[in-house]
Structure 1
Amino acid sequence: MSEKLFFQDLDKSDAENIVNNTLESADDGELYLEYSQSESMFFEDGILKKASSDTEQGFGLRAVSGETVGYGYGNEINSANLKSASDIARTAVSAKGGKSQIPMAAQKVLYRPDNPLESMSFNDKINLLKEIDAYTRHLDKCIQNVTIGLSANWKVVGIMRQDGHYVADIRPLVRLAIQAFAKKGDRQESGYYGCGGRYNYDVLLKGNSWEHAAEDAVRQALVNLDAVQAPAGEMEVILAHGWPGVLLHEAVGHGLEGDFNRKKTSAFAELMGKKVAAKGVTVVDDGTIPDCRGSLTFDDEGTPTQRNVLIEDGVLTGYMQDRLNARLMKTQSTGNGRRESYAHEPMPRMTNTFMVSGDRSPEEIIKSTKKGLYAANFSGGQVDITNGQFVFSATEAYLVENGKITHPVKGATLIGNGPNALTKISMIGNDSQLDTGTGMCGKDGQMIPVGVGMPTTKIANMTVGGTQV
């Protein structure tokens, strides 16, 4: 499939010669080839408000010498454009370097190659959106409006290294997002549920699973209608399993990416082998989980993805590496070299990042809490990688009083320091779970799909922003 797409206007042997000539004076590099189709539909006020489809293709040719990167790219894959890109890349890395001998990936099957865009007709997709809208509105009389997003992407990737080494992958991705808006008197609130992964629409919608998505979006909206202002102050905080792992992703995960640690701008720099979290805390980044949003057969440099243990039983054991940073840090790539598209250079990025289960039941964790906050869902947050300081907003949260979940609260923010919060984890649930498949991660202007997750987890003390009591 990839060779038919990429070598229509480009002779493969010409490509091999250009790549070899470009990289003969470099430490590392590759030719990255990409073809993608995408579509998105947005439904609001009972009608289709927006629909778009796009097809892109292009290449990126990279040469690396030391820390210097030469990168040329274009959206027409032919010999003339590759030679122009080669001139750019070679000029930037004219210094001779030692070769980086890294084996190419052996392919493994993590997801089906089917194109989701072709699995349903356009009319069937519109009829589905209408059905979801009608179902969601009729779940409760308080529901005033519903927005639905349905999207898919089908990306074919080819990576060529020196001496003709070539690997290819076909990456499907689908996503459904439902937001329900509820009103009671003068008060309006909303609830959200999203799901998706690396599969076809038929898997996403299997057994009318969208009904659960609609029901949960409505449930959250109704909960928020009854929520009172969150109290402020220092208290115990319980994070629910699944999507709350986004806090772990932002406050800890980015700090464990190789480039930040090589440059010593991470709060975790130079802490390898040292205790950075409470006993029992194990954090993993795993790009090999079948069908998951952040999974890849191999990364965007051609390195196989793998299960990387970053923190084990509280001790820092690894960073996430691309090839460039791994070479400069005298270690190996962990299969975390990722890029948004052919127009972007790869860098160390997360895949599916989560905390491993402990041995406590969620019920036991809640029962042990006299006064605290139970955070079930989050929206965005802000994190300073250099010191780990974070602020996260909870979109669904509850008071915990005398071992029971009681009133829903709104306006709760969690304020703290990622490394410090890890040391204050006092109980870890036995229910670790990845999110439902909607995460996107931004870094240096590049957006990529990722997975996050964690078990129900209790933090002994954290600052909660809300209303002072």
Structure 2
Amino acid sequence: MTVLVSPPAILDSAEVGSDEALSILQGALAGADDGELFLERSESESLVFDDGRLKSAAYDATEGFGLRVVAGETAGYAHANEISGPALRRAADSAALARAGYAGVSAESPVATNRKLYDEVDPLASPAFSDKIALLAEIDAWARARDPRVVQVSASLVGEHRQIEILRGDGRQMRDMRPLVRLNVSVTVEKDGKRESASSGAGGRAGFETWIAPARWQAQIDEALRQALVNLEAVDCPAGEMDVVLGAGWPGVLLHEAIGHGFEGDFHRKGSSAFNDKMGKRVAAPGVTVVDDGSIAGRRGSLTIDDEGTPTSRTVLIEDGIMVGLMHDRLSARQLGARATGNGRRQSFAHMPMPRMTNTFMEAGKDRKADMIASTKRGLYAANFGGGQVDITNGKFVFQCTEAYLIEDGKITAPVRGATLIGDGATALTRIEMIGDDFEFDPGVGVCGKAGQGVPVGIGQPSLKMGGLTVGGTAV
């Protein structure tokens, strides 16, 4: 049963009331351009069932606030995990140092919204703790019975219930209740003394009931098992320049990392993006349209409002190969003469907001994946990715493929191990030759790191054919 919750406002149950908090905030913001009081109360739970037993069970609860004062290019920020009048006053005195000798014009508050992209559901309340453990045990047993080559199974459930409130200097209060869940399954198989592992996960902004139906978790086991068995038969990957076909969905992580950060407004404000001075110019092959959209109901990267109170929106970054937009928080928008796009995000009350991606994806084209494969004489089909490294300032990337196959004479042949894709985002975008009609989002597992802050994100793309990428391999 889904448990809907509507807890009291944070300030209503804190040691300081709304009127006192507003008075303190207004004093700190006098003469500043912008700022807010951000309050957060969150609970999270993580259960890991590994090798036939409950390996760990963790619960965490946090509460606190962050007070920000923005004056021109300077931002003062102070935070505490005690929501009280004295703590707020100390934070206000510290943050207000940012406006010393400054007299600005207070910015207008974000526009209001009545929409809700997810229910006020508490994933920690339902199902019961014992039922979650029983489910993980059932997943373990079912996976082991699925194939005699399965030698190890790990399954985890992670849930979070986050309540945020934003108080503006004009007295406006904004509130958002954010559920987030994820189920992950990892399978290890063995054959002739050789072992391989693979994993599959799924989640989003909903209660656990959405993701723990038998059809859901059984599909995840089957996917993890399929990948692990494929890798048992893999041969070493050859290295060199070759055409690459990317699968739909999760391989969009390459798009996210290699170009996404380069479209965040703070990097353009600082002049450190590989896409500086490219607005209105061609940066990708014709037909390539890339969007960031935090307003898609239930998606992992979605937010009803961002962490400054701005409603999230659909922001087109690249349209038919032309750079047309950026992702902004309020600060980068004001300094670049644009509008805030609802991309101001922070990991917690202890962090200042900054422009961050939400759900970033490339829209579908008209080509069939089968035609991409058939048109490739020698190449690589990269079906799934693992980790990677990216230099945000120049877009250079290295990504490891967790599932990949050789393409020979227009046909998928042997699976390969040790394949990596090497290149830079700006060049890779121009080498897209075919765009699939099979768009998919990732299953809901993405986490994006930037400046020491991690936030949940969504990614997606159709299948793509890219010409002349550098493939790193292990074949000698």
* Structure 1 and Structure 2 fold alike (TM over 0.5): yes
Q: 2:126 is matched with which residue?
A: 119
Question: 1:327 offset after TM fit, Å?
Answer: 0.9
Is it true that 1:93 corresponds to 2:99 in the alignment? yes
Which whole-Å deviations, capped at 9, do the CAs of 1:148-176 have from their partners, x for residues lacking one?
11100000111111111111010000001
2:465 paired residue among 444, 458, 464: 458
Gaps of 5+ in 2: 1-5
**Contact persistence 2:273–2:392 (CA under 8 A):** yes
- Distance between the aligned counterparts of 1:174 and 1:36, measured in 2? 13
Return the match for 1:262 from 269, 274, 290: 269
How far residue 103 of structure 1 moved from its aligned partner, in angstroms, is 3.0
- Asked if the contact 1:173/1:196 (under 8 Å) is kept, the reply is yes
Q: Does 1:10 align with 2:21?
A: no
Post-superposition offset of 1:55: 1.1
Aligned with 1:162 (options 145, 164, 169) = 169
1:286 aligns with 2:293: yes
Q: Deviations over 1:445-468 (max 9, x none)?
A: 001000011000000110000035
Q: Flag the 1:432–1:225 CA change in 2: closer, same or farther, 3 A.
A: same
Instruction: Give runs of aligned pairs for residues 296-311 of structure 1, distance below 5 A.
Output: 296-311=303-318
CA distance in 1, matches of 2:18, 2:340: 27
Q: Distance in 1 between matches of 2:438 and 2:318?
A: 19
Deviation per residue, 1:5-33 (Å, 9 max, x gap) = 33222211111111111111211001101
How far off is 1:99 after superposition? 2.1
Establish whether residue 84 from structure 1 lines up as the match of residue 96 from structure 2.
no
2:40 matched residue in structure 1: 34
Match of 1:145 among 148, 152, 170: 152
Matched-pair contact (CA < 8 Å) for 1:2–1:158: no
Distance 2:215 2:223 in 1: 14
| 1:98, distance to aligned residue in structure 2 (A) | 2.4
| Residue 207 (structure 1) shift | 4.4
Displacement of 1:43 in angstroms is: 1.1
Q: Is the contact between residue 107 and residue 298 of structure 1 (CA under 8 Å) also seen in structure 2?
A: no
CA distance in 2, matches of 1:54, 1:457: 41
1:330 aligns with 2:337: yes
Structure 2 partner of 1:424:
431
Deviations 1:196-221 (A, max 9, x none): 00000100113431000011111111
Q: Cα distance 1:112–1:343, how it changes in 2: closer, same or farther (>3 A)?
A: same
Residue aligning to 1:350: 357
The within-5 A match list for 1:172-191 is 172-191=179-198
- Give the counterpart of 2:199 among 174, 177, 192: 192
**In the alignment, what sits opposite 2:74?**
68
Contact 2:64/2:81 (<8 A) preserved = yes
Distance 2:424 2:89 in 1: 48
Query: Which residue of the other structure, out of 233, 238, 248, is the alignment partner of 1:231?
Result: 238
1:42 and 1:148 in contact (8 A); partners too: yes
Residue type of the alignment partner of 2:405 = Y
SS at match of 1:275: coil
Pair 270,3 (structure 1): closer, same or farther in 2 beyond 3 Å: farther
**1: distance between equivalents of 2:437 and 2:159?**
33
Amino acid at match of 2:403: E
Take 1:318 and 1:266, find their aligned partners in 2: how far apart are those partners? 14
Deviation of 1:432 after TM superposition, in Å, equals 1.2
Corresponding residue for 2:3? none
- Match for residue 368 of structure 1 among 347, 350, 375: 375
Shift of 1:385: 1.2
Task: Find out whether 1:107 has 2:114 as its counterpart.
Answer: yes
Question: Helix, strand or coil for the counterpart of 1:285?
Answer: strand
Whether contact under 8 Å (2:252, 2:459) holds in the other structure is: yes
Q: How do residues 357-396 of structure 1 correspond to structure 2 at under 5 angstroms?
A: 357-396=364-403
Match of 1:56 among 51, 62, 66: 62
- Partner of residue 31 from structure 2, selected from 25, 42, 50: 25
Q: Would the aligned equivalents of 1:359 and 1:430 in 2 still touch at CA under 8 Å?
A: yes
- In 2, Cα distance between equivalents of 1:316 and 1:103: 26
Q: Which amino acid aligns with 2:470?
A: T
For 2:25 and 2:440, locate their aligned partners in 1 and report how far apart those are by CA, in whole Å.
Answer: 42
CA distance in 2, matches of 1:351, 1:155: 17
Task: Provide the C-alpha distance between the structure 2 equivalents of 1:447 and 1:307, rounded to a whole number of angstroms.
Answer: 22
- Offset, 1:333: 0.8
Question: What amino acid is aligned across from residue 363 of structure 1 in structure 2?
Answer: A
SS state of the match for residue 129, structure 1? Answer: helix
- For the aligned residue pairs, the C-alpha RMSD in angstroms reads 1.1
Partners of 1:107 and 1:297 within 8 A in 2: no
- Alpha carbons 1:104, 1:165 under 8 Å: kept: no
Q: Which residue of 2 aligns with 1:411?
A: 418
Q: Check whether the contact 1:378–1:392 (CA below 8 A) recurs between aligned residues.
A: yes
8 Å Cα contact 1:63/1:93 also seen in 2: yes
Q: For 2:303 and 2:115, how far apart are their aligned partners in 1? A: 10
> Is the contact made by 2:10 and 2:165 (CA closer than 8 Å) also made in structure 1?
no
User: Number of matched residues?
Assistant: 469
1:41 match: secondary structure: strand
Distance (Å, rounded) in 2 between the aligned partners of 1:223 and 1:151: 28
Match of 1:445 in 2: 452
Using the alignment, how far apart are the partners of 1:60 and 1:259 within structure 2?
20
Q: Following the alignment from structure 1 to structure 2, what is the Cα–Cα distance between the partners of residues 102 and 36? A: 25
Per the TM alignment, residue 433 of structure 1 is displaced from its structure 2 partner at its CA by 1.1
- The equivalent residue for 2:219 is 212
1:243 maps to 250
| Contact 2:362/2:461 (8 A) holds in 1 | yes
Tell me how far apart the structure 2 counterparts of residues 63 and 156 of structure 1 sit (CA, whole Å): 22
Q: Which residue identity is paired with 1:450?
A: V
Counterpart amino acid of residue 453 in structure 2: Q
- Contact between 2:10 and 2:39, CA under 8 Å: does it hold in 1? no
Deviates more, 1:283-292 or 1:379-388: 379-388
